[in-house]
Amino acid sequence: CFCADNCFVPTSEIIAVEETELSKKQRNIGKWQKMAKPHAFTVYYVKKARNHRWRCSDVTFWCVDEHLCNQWIQALKELLEMQKSRPKQLLVYINPYGGKRQGKRIYEQKVAPLFSLASISTDVVITEHANHAKENLFEVNINKYDGVVCVGGDGMFSEVMHGLIGRMQKDSGIDQNNPKAPLVQCNIRIGIIRSTDCICYSTIGISDPVTSALHIILGDCQPLDVSSVHHNNTFLKYVVSLLGYGFYGDVLKDSEKKRWMGPMRYDYSGIKTFLSHHYYEGTISFQPAKHTLGSPRDKDSCRTG
């Protein structure tokens, strides 16, 4: 740990360490003006604010001895290299039409500089049509990446999830259409930038691009359960978070035609569908897990033990 702003910051929450060039004006401030040639380095770290919001902060250390300054920089960089869970290479998919067409700007202005600061290399793909990311994930050399980042809304996250899981099954020779086939677990993490509020709140507690980027940089991981939906021995979809039927399905179907309305389309379609007085019938069957003890209310994480 090191001390900054009267608090201790774990080395696991240091983002980067850089040598700092002091300007002539900085050298003449206070007691540092007595130094013939002060040397400095800056430590960038995570500063936690209220409501699960994270920000990148920094503190600069001065030293009159250049050798000692370099020793500090080297020692801190070695500590960062020991953080093995941090990504080095990321594949980024950006939906230019998602988030009121702000996804590309948000990534370039708020996320990309943080990745660069943390020395993370990125390959960025701007999607051009529906399922572009999903199709691309079946073609790229996926083993060169530590994770895949999706920048967009519901559709982008769904595409990346289906592409990654589908790619894992294809490479392992698993038939997704067989509901009894044991699926191969996806070992590549998905980073989410301004996706669904539901997904963001269930993973990091807030829908904020900077906070998401910092969690990705530190290598934080939150397991999510994934369900598959089949019909007549034919694979339909993977499901994370929720599965809608009946009223909810009609709301989504109608709202897709009114994307130009923005988030207001859900309220409009919801009222319209409710006033249409539809009713829904159906039978839902499921296969309960066997020989598994646990409860959604216990304190055990997914796959504990």
Selecting among 58, 123, 146, 154, the annotated active-site residue is 154
Residue 154 designated active-site:
yes
Q: What is the DSSP letter of 22?
A: P
pTM: 0.79
10-residue stretch averages of pLDDT, the chain, 305 residues long: 60 92 57 62 92 90 88 94 94 84 89 96 94 95 95 87 94 92 88 72 75 93 83 89 80 84 85 84 73 61 52
Query: How many residues in the chain?
Result: 305
What's the CATH fold of domain 89-239?
Rossmann fold (3.40.50)
The torsion defined by the Cα of 17, 21, 27 and 30, in degrees rounded to 10, comes to: -20
Q: Reduced to 3 states, what is the DSSP secondary structure of residue 1?
A: coil
Spell out the SS3 assignment of 78-93. HHHHCCCCCCCEEEEE
Q: Which residues contact 284 (CB under 8 A, 6 or more apart)?
A: 245
Q: Reduced to 3 states, what is the DSSP secondary structure of residue 15?
A: strand
Domain residue ranges of the chain, discontinuous segments joined by +:
11-23+35-82, 89-239, 247-276
Distance in angstroms (rounded) separating the CA atoms of residues 108 and 104: 6
Q: Tell me: the pLDDT tens digits for 113-149?
A: 999 999 999 999 999 998 999 999 999 999 999 999 9
